[in-house]
């Protein structure tokens, strides 16, 4: 059974993307072991404290190493990557030993897919930014730039995210492709 680590690009407890990650976990059901990365206490990336890695960084790296694949669900901030997510990815992209660039990072070669629940843009900006970044991190991006879900204004006003049948089907198709890549 594939082990999928969900990374949510928002710290908000009831964020739309946290809800989307739960929807994806429900779609995956018992076909995958799904866990979520809690990285709220992660310090800012700082080479002065890089080695030995802070405990929060070591825990995040261990969770990534234990996973067969990573699924990122993220909002779009100013048409790009939220700062907290970028900070996490910066830590995870660093070598495990000082100056051992040939040894790689925990993310190198890892399979990843991306989804975004955002406003009218459906996350186009963040999906494009992440595709470029993840390629630079030498990850295997499955399913192209990912699936973007446009959140209607009523959801923002009331805080309730409901998926249309088409949106649920897009996530289901993404889940099937990701499972096939992890099992293949």
Domain ranges of the chain: 2-183
What is the pLDDT at residue 104?
87
Number of H helices, E strands in the chain: 6, 6
Nearest CA to 106 out of 141, 133, 70, 80 is that of 70
What is the pLDDT at residue 116?
98
This model's pTM is above 0.85 = yes
- What is the C-alpha separation between 106 and 127, in angstroms, rounded? 21
Above pLDDT 90, what percent of the chain? 86
Return the CATH fold of 2-183: Rossmann fold (3.40.50)
What is the pLDDT at residue 154?
76
What is the pLDDT at residue 160?
78
* Residue segments in the chain with a per-residue pLDDT below the cut of 70: 157
What is the pLDDT at residue 72?
98
Residue 127: partners with Cβ closer than 8 Å, 6 or more residues away: 114, 116, 145, 146, 148
What is the pLDDT at residue 99?
87
What is the pLDDT at residue 184?
80
CA 78 to chain centre: 18
């Amino acid at each position: 059974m594939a082990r999928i680590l969900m990374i949510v690009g928002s710290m908000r407890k009831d964020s739309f993307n946290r809800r989307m990650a739960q929807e994806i976990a429900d779609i995956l059901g018992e076909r995958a072991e799904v866990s979520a990365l809690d990285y709220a206490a992660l310090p800012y990336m700082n080479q002065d404290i890089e080695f030995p890695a802070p405990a929060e960084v070591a825990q995040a790296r261990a969770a990534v190493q234990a996973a067969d694949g990573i699924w990122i669900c993220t909002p779009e901030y100013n048409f790009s990557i939220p700062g907290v997510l970028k900070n996490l990815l910066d830590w995870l992209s660093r070598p495990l030993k000082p100056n051992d660039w040939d040894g790689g990072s925990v993310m190198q070669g890892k399979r990843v897919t991306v989804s975004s629940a955002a406003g009218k843009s459906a996350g186009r900006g963040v999906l494009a930014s992440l595709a470029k970044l993840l390629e630079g991190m030498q990850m295997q991006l499955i399913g192209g730039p990912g699936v973007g879900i446009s959140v209607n204004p009523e959801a923002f006003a009331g805080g309730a995210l409901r998926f249309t049948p088409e949106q649920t089907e897009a996530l289901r198709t993404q889940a099937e492709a990701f499972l096939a890549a992890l099992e293949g």
